[in-house]
């Protein structure tokens, strides 16, 4: 048995990918207690913005997998330079987009 | 229903036989996991406070990533732990039952479908493949084809300024018109090729990912026999490398529990 406490899929994906899978509304298996899940599409932009910013994720306590024994060799420093520059590019783009986001979406911002 | 009630949070169904005691925790990071057997099946559960998931306060908190993120990851981690022992039928995050009787009702109604699904999933895993387009990289490629197409290469610098401008506009318009067709044909070809390695294929809804720069143009899920995992992953990486110069790449994620292939199990 693997000694891991974290999703194996996080080795190839990011938190937004996990959220897209576990919140998939296509899964028809309903309990008898109604739970209104958040609309992943509406949150997608903020999610990617938060996750792309390592500092922000750390601030929010969302880096709980960093430093986990199963992932001790991973982390920010382990990212290849190309991945980092892609993330930086994407972050800059998202930040410039966020400045244009209408007020009603900003109200729902999870970054605040 | 009062808000202080306890409910059963369902992670997944599995076969009961190979399941030992699980080491993970409920989505709160504390509650123990419970393996609840039903015939040859098992439901992997934990108890939760209904108020954490249902009602206006819970719904508002669900938008808070610092609450949702770790819980979503724990949901995934529990199902992946169960996957180590055999096939699973994953539940969506936040699938709650008010009682074991209620869960039993679902199992009685759908026992056959769940059992068949677990049979089909044996030795398989889900892989996600997202097509990502960089429009600004894709267009120049197509433009250069239009410049060199038809009557041979046109050297724009040899044209008068007005003609050069018009020719440039014409080439860009032709490239923009061709891009969706090229994209569709290319994605179809790649999907067909990858389906050759898979025993299941599902088109997921691609989430918009910003207007400019990179955009997700396709989101596919493949059900891949574990034995051909390396071939499948290699093929995705090769397709991505081959098309990267033309602004199209394919991102591979997995292995996932078979979320995209779950049967419909209405209450």
Of the given ranges (A43-47, B241-245, B255-259), which has the lowest mean pLDDT? A43-47
Residues whose CB falls within 8 Å of the CB of residue B123, separated by 6 or more in sequence, listed in order: B87, B225, B226, B227
Element (H, E) at B96: strand B96-97
In angstroms, the first-to-last Cα distance of chain A is 40
Tokens of A34: 């109604």
- Taking the C-alpha atoms of residue A21 and residue B128, their distance in angstroms, rounded to an integer, is 10
pLDDT tens figures, B120-177: 999 999 999 999 999 888 887 777 766 665 555 666 677 788 888 888 888 888 888 8
Q: Which residue of A has its CA nearest to B48?
A: A33
pLDDT tens figures, B178-231: 899 999 999 999 999 999 999 999 999 887 664 457 889 999 999 999 999 999
CB-CB under 8 Å, B95 with A35: yes
Q: Which residue of A has its CA nearest to B107?
A: A29
Using an 8 Å Cβ cutoff, are A5 and A68 in contact? yes
CB-CB under 8 Å, A19 with B69: yes
- In order of their start, the domains of chain B are 6-122 (no CATH), 125-261 (3.30.70)
DSSP A84: H
pLDDT tens figures, A48-58: 666 555 555 55
Q: How many CA atoms lie within 13 A of B234 on its CB side?
A: 5
Per the model's pLDDT, the better-predicted residue between B267 and A17 turns out to be A17
CB-CB under 8 Å, B84 with A2: yes
- Taking the C-alpha atoms of residue B191 and residue B222, their distance in angstroms, rounded to an integer, is 9
Task: Kindly list the residues from chain B whose CB atom is less than 8 angstroms away from the CB atom of residue A44.
Answer: 207-209
Task: Kindly list the residues from chain B whose CB atom is less than 8 angstroms away from the CB atom of residue A4.
Answer: 77
B181 CB near a chain A CB, below 8 Å? Answer: no
Q: Which of residues 40-79 of B touch A (CB under 8 A)?
A: 50, 53-54, 58-59, 62-66, 68-70, 72-73, 75-77
Q: Which residue of B has its CA nearest to A60?
A: B66
A38 CB near a chain B CB, below 8 Å? Answer: yes
**Residue B86, Ramachandran bin (φ over 0: left; ψ between -120 and 50: alpha; else beta):** left
Per-residue pLDDT band at B243 (split at 50, 70, 90): very high
- Taking the C-alpha atoms of residue A105 and residue A103, their distance in angstroms, rounded to an integer, is 5
A77 CB near a chain B CB, below 8 Å? Answer: no
pLDDT tens figures, B29-88: 999 999 999 999 999 999 999 999 999 899 888 888 888 889 999 999 999 999 999 999
Name the CA radius of gyration of chain A, rounded: 16
B227 CB near a chain A CB, below 8 Å? Answer: no
Tokens of B82: 């169960």
Give B90's strand partners.
Answer: B12
- Taking the C-alpha atoms of residue B25 and residue B70, their distance in angstroms, rounded to an integer, is 12
B261 CB near a chain A CB, below 8 Å? Answer: no
- pLDDT of amino acid A50: 61
């Amino acid at each position: 048995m693997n000694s891991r406490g974290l999703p194996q899929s996080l080795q190839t994906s990011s938190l937004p990918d996990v959220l897209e899978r576990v919140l998939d509304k296509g899964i028809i298996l309903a309990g008898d207690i109604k739970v209104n899940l958040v609309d992943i599409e509406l949150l997608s932009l903020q999610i990617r913005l938060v996750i792309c910013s390592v500092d922000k994720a750390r601030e929010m306590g969302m880096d709980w997998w960093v430093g986990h024994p199963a992932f001790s060799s991973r982390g920010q420093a382990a990212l290849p330079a190309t991945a980092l520059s892609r993330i930086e590019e994407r972050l800059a783009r998202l930040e410039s987009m966020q400045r244009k986001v209408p007020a009603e979406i900003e109200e729902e911002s999870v970054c605040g | 229903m009062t808000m202080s009630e306890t409910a059963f949070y369902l992670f997944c169904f599995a076969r009961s036989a190979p399941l030992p005691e699980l080491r993970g925790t409920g989505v709160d990071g504390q509650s123990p996991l419970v393996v609840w057997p039903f015939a040859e099946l098992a439901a992997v559960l934990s108890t939760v406070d209904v108020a954490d998931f249902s009602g206006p306060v819970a719904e508002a908190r669900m938008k808070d990533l610092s609450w949702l993120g770790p819980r979503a990851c724990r949901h995934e981690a529990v199902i992946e732990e169960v996957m180590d022992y055999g096939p699973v039928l994953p539940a969506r995050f936040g699938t709650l039952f008010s009682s074991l009787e209620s869960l039993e009702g679902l199992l009685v109604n759908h026992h056959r479908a769940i059992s068949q699904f677990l049979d089909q999933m044996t030795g398989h895993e889900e892989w996600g493949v997202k097509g990502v387009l960089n429009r600004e990289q894709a267009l120049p490629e197509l433009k250069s084809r239009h410049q060199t197409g038809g009557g041979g290469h046109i050297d724009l610098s040899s044209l008068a300024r007005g003609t050069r401008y018009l020719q440039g506009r014409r080439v860009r318009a032709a490239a923009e018109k061709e891009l969706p067709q090229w994209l569709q044909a290319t994605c179809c070809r790649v999907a067909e090729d990858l389906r050759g390695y898979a025993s299941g294929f599902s088109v997921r809804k691609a989430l918009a990912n910003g207007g400019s720069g990179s955009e997700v143009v396709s989101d596919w899920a493949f059900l891949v026999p574990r034995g051909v995992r390396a071939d499948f992953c290699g093929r995705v990486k090769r397709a991505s490398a081959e098309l990267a110069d033309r602004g199209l790449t394919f991102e591979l994620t997995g292995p996932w529990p078979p979320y995209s292939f779950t049967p419909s199990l209405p209450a």
